[in-house]
Every structure is written in structure tokens, then in C-alpha cells.
């Protein structure tokens, strides 16, 4: 099955700096790569996703890049703010429709300090 590795497990940045979280996946058939943000005590929420036919996607201060050859994808957060502090999960999915399943990484705890 699919295996997703995520690094680092914790990340501390100063407000205004950039943060980068990296994930690798094992199944070359994976075709969908979402990122979820989970604030303390809350539910995970989708913040951005990318599909295998796209190399980069941006939404305001967050962006995701995908390198299918190397089987890795990354989340980039620019101009970090205290409200960006949370746990971020990457995931990879193979298949479509009834055949699709999400495999999650183990999470990165991002701390944005003032």
C-alpha cells in the first residue's frame, strides 16, 4: 500500500518568515495530494490540494509543489502569522471514485513565534 513520510515533525519559525513542510510518497500511481490543517482540539480542515497533472498551486500565502519524478510534494507558507500555528498533515491518494483512499503523513507541528 501507499506510505507517506512527512518532515519535519516540529517546526518553529518567527512571524513573517517562511515555513516549508515536505512529504514523500511510495506509490507512483498516487494522483491527488491534499494538505490539512488541524488547530489544537479542532478537526482537520483542507487548506490546499494538488493533482498529479499540476506542478504547483498557490492560494494567497500558501503554495504546494509536486515533483512526480522524485515522488515528493511540499507545502510552503510565506509571511507566517501566529494563526498559522497548528499541525499540518499531508496525504496522498491513489485511484478515483470508489477505488480512492487517502493515506496521511504523521503531521508537522508548526509554531509561529512573535
Partner 1 sequence: NAGVTQTPKFQVLKTGQSMTLQCAQDMNHEYMSWYRQDPGMGLRLIHYSVGAGITDQGEVPNGYNVSRSTTEDFPLRLLSAAPSQTSVYFCASSHKLLGLNEQFFGPGTRLTVL
Interacting residue ranges for partner 1, rule: CB under 8 A: 1, 6, 9, 32, 34, 42-46, 49, 89, 91, 93, 95-107
Looking at the Cβ atoms of 51 and 61, the one nearer to partner 1 is: 51
Closer of 46 and 82 to partner 1 (Cβ): 46
- Between 58 and 101, CB nearer to partner 1: 101
* CB-based contact 8:21 (threshold 8 Å): yes
CB of 41 to partner 1, least distance (A): 9
Distance CA 85, CA 6 (A): 17
Reading the block at residue 82, the C-alpha cell is: 501566529
Q: How far is the CB of 14 from partner 1 (least distance, A)?
A: 26
Cβ at position 93, least distance to partner 1 in Å: 5
Considering the complex, what minimum distance in angstroms separates the CB of residue 33 from partner 1? 10
Q: Judged by CB, which is closer to partner 1: 91, or 112?
A: 91
Cα–Cα distance list, 96 to 23, 36, 61, 68, 107 (Å): 21, 20, 29, 18, 24
Measured distance CA(24)–CA(48) in Å, rounded:
17
Complete DSSP assignment for 57-84: EEETTEEEEEETTTTEEEEEE-S--GGG
Amino acid at each position: 500500500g501507499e506510505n507517506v513520510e512527512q518532515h519535519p515533525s516540529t517546526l518553529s519559525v518567527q512571524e513573517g518568515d517562511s515555513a516549508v513542510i515536505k512529504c514523500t510518497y511510495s506509490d507512483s500511481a498516487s494522483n491527488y495530494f491534499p494538505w490539512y490543517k488541524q488547530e489544537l482540539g479542532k478537526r482537520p480542515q483542507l487548506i490546499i490540494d494538488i493533482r498529479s497533472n499540476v506542478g504547483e498551486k498557490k492560494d494567497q500565502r500558501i503554495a504546494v509543489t509536486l515533483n512526480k519524478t522524485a515522488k515528493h510534494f511540499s507545502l510552503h507558507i510565506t509571511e507566517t502569522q501566529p494563526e498559522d500555528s497548528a499541525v499540518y498533515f499531508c496525504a496522498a491518494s491513489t485511484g478515483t471514485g470508489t477505488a480512492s483512499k487517502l493515506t496521511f503523513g504523521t503531521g508537522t507541528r508548526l509554531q509561529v513565534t512573535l
